[in-house]
Amino acid sequence: MNETEHLKAIFQAALDAVDTIQLMNRHIELEGNRLIVEVGGLRHELDLAGFSRVFVLGAGKASARMAMALETILGERISAGLVSVKYGHGEPLNRIETVEAGHPVPDAKGEEAARRIEQLAGNADERTLVLNLISGGGSALLPAPAEGLTLAGKQEMTGLLLASGADIHEINSVRKHLSRLKGGRLLRLLAPARSLNFILSDVLGDRLDTIASGLTAPDATTFADALAVIDKYGLRGKAPAVALKILEDGAAGRLQETLKAGDPAALLSTNIILGSNRIAVAAACEQARGLGYNAVALTSSLSGEAREAAKVLYGIARDVRDSALLAKAPACIVAGGETTVTLRGSGKGGRNQELALAFLAELARDERQGEGIHFLSASTDGSDGPTDAAGAFASAAVLAQADAVGLSIARSLADNDSYRFFEAIGQLHKTGPTMTNVCDLQLTLIP
């Protein structure tokens, strides 16, 4: 295999390690009436004989696949259920209904799913066990606009936040305070039911209050924090008037805050992280070593502007190539996390494609034109931004291809048009929907 094939194999190994069904089967089992969950050295046991009903609720790109695994484990013990997934991410289910909806901008199908989940949650009682399946994308896939706010207003607010350069924590602090379900509000609806929440983390540091906007976790942010995000990114004059009024009323104490630590509803619930970017990074390193590389796990918390991250990663690659700093060649440097893009143009792309294009720009400035450096940045969910590609490749060969057909890196970056740039030379990495989601991976080979 050449370096591109090695990059594909390493990325696939990372995906395999966070395959949803494997994770569910590895950590969850049924012994008689006892539901047993073992993760990270912790063991949770529940006697299902103590419950008259089992509901399964969920939202996120991987939630249908999680539901499929749970149906295999629990079978007819499941009384009812519904999960909301991104279009094209459904799975054949028997006892749990699937609604496919819009992501990253929420749509009417997602709002319908949210209303129906609210109804199921409201029907839960002290004899009901609720199993919540939560993964990345759950926030957009379960839009439940606060009273007075329309879905169109929520869509507009989401679009403004995504284009502003705000990070996921800031975006979620606003979304939680414009929602009837997020920020732990789902737990208020479920009480007095007992709930176990199986979570695939797609956020840095695996913060429970941030994954899917903290559907089942206490929220440390406030209405005032959400207003501060609006002001930080100059959105006060652009935000829908109703959304702004909700945040202002909340900050003035006229609306109920999101769920806080110590709330009785939170004590009825247990959050369990089944998979994360750390697992994917470790698996990538293991596969790279199997291919003969000296693998280094750089971080699972890469963040900041994609273009700036590209500069850092390229600088590390040059150090390894030229000075054997950090690792000796042949080397594989693995990073994971989630960067952001501040939109300045009207092109098509995603953060991974933009990062790969910025990496290619650094490669072009290298006096050795990137000799001996091969790179892939890709999303573990298989969909980078609003595109059908997981990410893109960068190398000296890719640069030569671009030059041969007259593509301009600077022009494409200025227009945020990374997708069309890489599409023109066949250097997009397309996996299709992976049915999992644990942030992104950046893989650098120095053979």
Q: Give tens-digit pLDDT for 74-130.
A: 999 999 999 999 999 999 999 999 999 998 888 999 999 999 999 999 999 999 999
Residue 345 is given by DSSP the state S
Q: Using the predicted structure, report yes or no on whether residue 389 has a pLDDT greater than 80.
A: yes
Q: Using the predicted structure, report yes or no on whether residue 165 has a pLDDT greater than 90.
A: no
Domains recognised in the chain with CATH numbers: 19-144+179-221+258-275 (3.40.50.10180), 278-446 (3.40.1480.10)
Q: Are 77 and 137 in contact (CB under 8 A)?
A: no
% of the chain with per-residue pLDDT over 90? 92
Q: What is the mean pLDDT of residues 269-275?
A: 96
Max CA-CA distance within the chain? 70
| Predicted TM-score of the model (pTM) | 0.88
> Do the strands 374-379 and 42-47 form a parallel or antiparallel pair, or are they unpaired?
unpaired
Cβ neighbours for 298, distance < 8 A, ≥ 6 positions apart: 316, 333, 334, 335
Q: Using the predicted structure, report yes or no on whether residue 277 has a pLDDT greater than 90.
A: yes
CA distance 96 to 58: 10
Q: Residue 5: what residue type?
A: E
Question: 332: which strand partners?
Answer: 295, 445
pLDDT at 159: 86
Q: What is the mean pLDDT of residues 245-273?
A: 96
Helix (H) or strand (E) holding 309: helix 306-323
Cα–chain center distance at 252: 32
pLDDT at 107: 92
Handedness of CA 364, 367, 368, 373 (dihedral sign): negative
Range list of H helices, 324-366: 351-365
Residue 45 burial (10 A CB sphere; 0-12, 13-18, 19+): exposed
Q: Using the predicted structure, report yes or no on whether residue 168 has a pLDDT greater than 80.
A: no
Q: Are 115 and 84 in contact (CB under 8 A)?
A: no
Q: At 276, is the secondary structure helix, strand, or coil?
A: coil
Question: 377: which strand partners?
Answer: 392, 442
pLDDT tens profile 290-300? 999 999 999 99
Q: Are 287 and 6 in contact (CB under 8 A)?
A: no
pLDDT at 155: 86
HSE-up of residue 314 (Cα within 13 Å, Cβ side): 25
> Do the strands 34-39 and 28-31 form a parallel or antiparallel pair, or are they unpaired?
antiparallel
pLDDT at 105: 80
CA distance 231 to 222: 15
Q: How many other CB atoms sit within 10 Å of the CB of residue 15?
A: 22
Q: Using the predicted structure, report yes or no on whether residue 151 has a pLDDT greater than 90.
A: yes
What confidence category does residue 40 fall into, taking pLDDT thresholds of 50, 70 and 90? confident
pLDDT at 425: 98
What confidence category does residue 359 fall into, taking pLDDT thresholds of 50, 70 and 90? very high
CA distance 410 to 353: 14
pLDDT at 1: 85
